[in-house]
Structure 1
């Protein structure tokens, strides 16, 4: 098998294990808002926000 395919399969297995182990519902409170979501979904949203902020800051400072 190709090493790329093996790496992708291993990554998918790790992601599925992470999601299964973090299905507990947590409550998030910020100022006046309060919501409940799974811990895995919360971590995914925070990761996506961090990547977006990093990408925007990199684009901003690269332009100088």
Structure 2
């Protein structure tokens, strides 16, 4: 199997286990906005945001590399 795939699957399982064990309600404040949600949801949204941000930044970097090579 591909080492990258094994690493991603292992980290995904660990993230899911971590999220499942943190279900307490937390209050979130951002500037004037406030809400309460499960810490599991907060962790999940943070994880998804980080993955999407990394994916978009990687795509942007690849685009600039291809553009510079041409």
Q: TM-score, normalised by structure 2?
A: 0.65
Alpha-carbon shift at residue 25 of structure 1 (Å): 0.1
* Change beyond 3 A, Cα 1:55–1:39: same
- Matches of 2:27 and 2:60, distance apart in 1: 34
1:15-48 per-position Cα deviation (integer Å, ceiling 9, x unaligned) = 35741x2110000000010010101110000000
Are residues 1:44 and 2:44 paired?
yes
Structure 1, unaligned runs of 5 or more: 1-6
Match of 2:33 in 1: 33
Count of aligned residue pairs for this structure pair: 54
Match of 1:4 in 2: none
Q: TM-score, normalised by structure 1?
A: 0.70
RMSD after superposition: 2.5
Structure 2, unaligned runs of 5 or more: 1-8, 65-70
Q: Write out aligned runs for 1:1-64 (5 A).
A: 11=13, 15=16, 18-19=19-20, 21-64=21-64
